[in-house]
Amino acid sequence: MPWMLPTVIKNLLSKPATRRYPYVKRPPFPGARGKIQFDMEKCDLCTACARVCPANAIIVDKEAKTIKYDPFACIYCGNCVDACPKDAITMDIYYSPPAPEKSQETMLKE
C-alpha cells in the first residue's frame, strides 16, 4: 500500500505551499526583531546601549555627540531597546537588506 500517495495527490491538486519569493514577500509578524532605529531627539548619549550590546555594534562618542551603528555586526537581540532609559531606541520589524558592502550608520545629536 503506497501510504504517501494520498498526500501526493492532495498536493498535486492544491495550491503551492511556497511563495514566489522575492516577488511575493510574507510580511513579518508584529514584534519581529529587525533593524534598530535611534531617536536622537530623545537620546542623551548615556552609553547604556553600547555597554549592553553583545556584538559591540553601537559606538557612542560623547565628545563628537554621535552614535555609530553597524547593522552588519548587529545580532538583532534587542538588548539595547530594553536597556535604553529614555526609550530612544525602537526596533523595526524588517531586518536590514543585504548589501554589496558593509557600512555603518552615523547619527548626530543636534
Partner 1 sequence: MARTVIPFGPQHPVFPEALQLKLECEDEKVVNAIPAIGYIHRGIEKAAELNAFRNNVFLCERICGICSFMHALCYCQGIEEMMNVEIPPRAKFLRVFWAELSRMHNHLMWLGFLADSMGFESLFMQCWRAREIILDVTEMTTGQRVIYGSCSIGGVRRDIDKEMAQDIEKRLIMAKEMVDSDISPTVFHDPSLKRRTVGKGILTKEQAISLGAAGPVLRASGVPLDTRQTGYAAFKEIGFEPIVETAGDVYARTLVRLREWYQSTEFCLKSLSMMPEGEIATRVVGRPKGEVISRVEQHRGEVFYYIKGNGTNNLERLRVRTPTFANIPPLLVMLRGCELADVPVITLSIDPCIACTER
Alpha carbon distance, N-terminus to C-terminus of the chain: 74
The smaller minimum CB distance to partner 1, of residues 4 and 24, is found at 4
The smaller minimum CB distance to partner 1, of residues 43 and 80, is found at 80
State the nearest-atom distance from the C-beta of 31 to partner 1, in Å: 5
State the nearest-atom distance from the C-beta of 41 to partner 1, in Å: 26
Question: How far is residue 36's CA from residue 65's CA, in Å, rounded to a whole number?
Answer: 19
Q: Read off the DSSP letter of residue 35.
A: -
- Which residues of the chain form contacts with partner 1 (CB under 8 A)? 1-4, 7-8, 11, 17, 28-29, 31-33, 52, 54, 75-79, 82
Omega of the bond prior to 22 within 30 degrees of 0, cis?
yes
Contact 12, 65 (CB under 8 A): no
The smaller minimum CB distance to partner 1, of residues 2 and 100, is found at 2
